[in-house]
Amino acid sequence: MKTPTLYGLIAGTLAGAWLIGEHFWELKNPGVASFAGIVGYFIYFTFIFIAIWTVREKEQQGIIDFKKAMQTGVLTSVYYALALGVLTFINYKFVNTDFLIQQNPKASVQEIESSKSIWRILQGVILIIPFNILFGTVISAVISVLIRRDAK
């Protein structure tokens, strides 16, 4: 299944790039990040839909059952989550290193230093990946029901 891999990696890379870009946008326009996170989810949902639609139209000659649609959506979600996880790690390790201070200005020096450690960042990334896969699975189920087309 090349389609879910391709679309999952593209979506995860775009969402990760948006996450990093959002940091710089927030520096110039404080308060923007609260709504900007919606863009990442829009990218996610759109690419799950496109992946399922592409498999249906280009690989399955316009026919796709629920199982195949779900398989496509979940695989797209897995690759999305992995790509986004890598870029999230890069963001918090090298770009937005003061994330904890932004979230909690009263954080102690020890908490701030702890939040910058590789292991602490990996803990967050490891939690994000299964959440995104689970969320993508739910979205895939909804999209699969809506755009499946069984053989007549």
| Helices 118-147, 66-90: inter-axial angle, 10-degree rounding | 160
Give the tens place of pLDDT for each residue, 111-124.
Answer: 777 777 788 888 88
Cα 94 from chain centroid (whole Å): 19
**Whether residue 72 has pLDDT greater than 70:** yes
Query: What are the structure tokens assigned to 75, written together?
Result: 């695989």
Give the predicted TM-score (pTM) of the model. 0.88
pLDDT at 78 > cutoff 90: yes
pLDDT tens, 47-67?
999 999 999 999 999 999 999
The C-alpha atoms of residue 118 and residue 139 are separated, in whole angstroms, by 31
